[in-house]
Chain A
Amino acid sequence: MPPKKRQKSRNRPPAKAAAVAKPPARSVRLSPNMKFTAGLIGLVLVIVGIIWWSNRDEPAAAAEQLVRANSHKLSAAADGKVTLVEFLDFECPSCAAAYPSVERIRTEYAGRITYVVRLFPLTGHKNAIPAASAAQAAANQGKFEAMYKKLFESQGSWGGKETDQAATFEQYATELGLDMTRYKTDVAAQATSSFITAEVTDAKTVKVTGTPTFFLNGKKLTTTPTYDNLKKAIDEALAS
């Protein structure tokens, strides 16, 4: 072996010198394109990582901010042991997607769970606040639940629109048999917008960033609010 090695180096000294000087340097060297691309991907990964990390912890929210005295209680448990709070936006499609599951849960667990609706109209939806105001105006006449159902069940016909849907909501109010003079006053009332602002403030205090967000006995649910997931979480809470 040693002679062979020597022979090789003796035969091609210039080639060896060139090989040492150039190819390794070239193979390690990345083009600026590759460097910047890798850098960009790295930067994005770091940002995503930071966002993910900062959203990991979900502290138990303060009870008072989750359920206020004037919050909309749609179902009430006799023993008050299990409380499900939902922060929702009437114009949010995933809230409408969760709605049938929530209704099924409410029917099946009637009398065993308390269900509270908190309003969290998102700024990206043009008619989220008008819809929340409509629900609040209906609440003043004891029809919050009816309006809540109507808004979700008909979301397909008014949601996602750029134009103001107040007339559609008035139509719903009429169908629910509301006193329309009072409804129109209440929709525009300062008390209504103050209520919604307070709801949004509470949502932000308990670190709700999107809708629908569910809290079960003060703990944020992290699973997708499907019927099965909600049922599982509620069953666990009832059993504990």
Chain B
Amino acid sequence: MNRAETPFAARISGWVLTIGGAVGFLAAFTLIVEKISLIKNPAYVPTCSINPLLSCGSVMQTSQAEAFGFPNPLIGVAAFPVVITIGVLVLAGVRLPRWVWLGLQTGTVFGLVFVHWLIYQSLYRIGALCPYCMVVWIVMITIFWYTLLRNLHFGVIPLRNHKTLLSYHGLILTAWLLIIAALIGIEFWDYWQTLL
């Protein structure tokens, strides 16, 4: 009965949190491992440094990579497991109190803002793309989005006309990610051209 009433966008929040959290955790964990290798051996070339543009070695050594004075992926290593845990609880059918959802929403808003700041820095200041970081960008936006939709549907966040958002969840998310992809395409146009 619950299945029929709950829209798809709100129903999949458990899966999004679990899978998204796991993917985000793996990316953040890999970045930390690469960072440690880089500290141990400054000449180390990280596995994701493919060419001057797709490179996490150069990105990792910027000041933006330690926005709060410590490597950014530490936040992911600590926070994504929380997302996984909440996702698993949702899948297990546990009803979580409103404040947990508000807390998760607050966390994802922080992550969302941080990730967009990093996108801006990566594109327009550093001028390089770090593949694992981009995985985190996608995952973070997706987690935020479906947490928001879930909270809108269950009234955790009161907003009157939220039905449209829920019914066009995939379109909005796709458009969001495509805008970022387009910005990347435009900014590094010179480079993409050399691949043609």
Instruction: Show the binding face of A for B, using Cβ within 8 Å.
Output: 31-34, 36-37, 40-41, 44, 48, 52, 55-56, 92-94, 97, 160, 209-211, 222-225
Contacts of B169 in A (CB 8 A): 33
Q: Is the CB of B178 closer than 8 A to any CB of chain A?
A: yes
Q: A52-B196, A56-B196, A160-B127 are in contact. Are A94 and B190 (CB under 8 A)?
A: yes
A157 to chain B, nearest CB (A): 15
Docked-complex contact A40 and B190, CB < 8 angstroms: no
In addition to A32-B167, A40-B174, A209-B190, 10 A-B residue pairs with Cβ atoms within 8 Å of each other are A36-B171, A37-B174, A40-B171, A40-B175, A41-B178, A52-B196, A94-B191, A209-B193, A210-B189, A224-B194
Alpha-carbon gap, A36 to B51, bound state (A): 35
Docked-complex contact B178 and A40, CB < 8 angstroms: yes
Residue from A44, A92, A160 within 8 A of B190 (CB atoms) = A92
B110 to chain A, nearest CB (A): 27
**Smallest Cβ-Cβ distance to A226: which chain B residue:** B51
Question: What are the 9 tightest A-B residue pairs by CB atom distance, in nearest-first order?
Answer: A210-B190, A37-B170, A36-B171, A37-B171, A97-B52, A33-B170, A37-B174, A224-B194, A93-B127
Docked-complex contact A209 and B189, CB < 8 angstroms: yes
B192 to chain A, nearest CB (A): 9
A162 to chain B, nearest CB (A): 10
Docked-complex contact A224 and B51, CB < 8 angstroms: yes
Docked-complex contact A33 and B171, CB < 8 angstroms: yes
Alpha-carbon gap, A210 to B196, bound state (A): 13
Q: Give B167-188 interface residues, CB cut-off 8 Å to A.
A: 167-171, 174-175, 178, 182, 185
Docked-complex contact A36 and B193, CB < 8 angstroms: no
Contacts of A34 in B (CB 8 A): 170
Docked-complex contact B190 and A32, CB < 8 angstroms: no
B122 to chain A, nearest CB (A): 13
Q: Is the CB of B125 closer than 8 A to any CB of chain A?
A: yes
A75 to chain B, nearest CB (A): 23
Contacts of A160 in B (CB 8 A): 125, 127
A86 to chain B, nearest CB (A): 13
Alpha-carbon gap, A196 to B78, bound state (A): 52
Alpha-carbon gap, A152 to B167, bound state (A): 52
Alpha-carbon gap, A93 to B169, bound state (A): 38
Docked-complex contact A55 and B193, CB < 8 angstroms: yes
Alpha-carbon gap, A117 to B91, bound state (A): 62
Docked-complex contact A32 and B189, CB < 8 angstroms: no
Docked-complex contact B190 and A41, CB < 8 angstroms: no
B109 to chain A, nearest CB (A): 24
B33 to chain A, nearest CB (A): 27
B123 to chain A, nearest CB (A): 11
Contacts of A55 in B (CB 8 A): 193, 196
Q: A55-B196, A56-B196 are in contact. Are A211 and B170 (CB under 8 A)?
A: no
B157 to chain A, nearest CB (A): 21
Docked-complex contact B190 and A222, CB < 8 angstroms: no
Contacts of B178 in A (CB 8 A): 40-41, 44
Contacts of B190 in A (CB 8 A): 92, 94, 209-211
Alpha-carbon gap, A44 to B178, bound state (A): 8
Residue from A32, A56, A94, A223 within 8 A of B168 (CB atoms) = A32
Contacts of B125 in A (CB 8 A): 160
Docked-complex contact A210 and B170, CB < 8 angstroms: no
Docked-complex contact A210 and B193, CB < 8 angstroms: yes
A149 to chain B, nearest CB (A): 20
Alpha-carbon gap, A33 to B149, bound state (A): 14
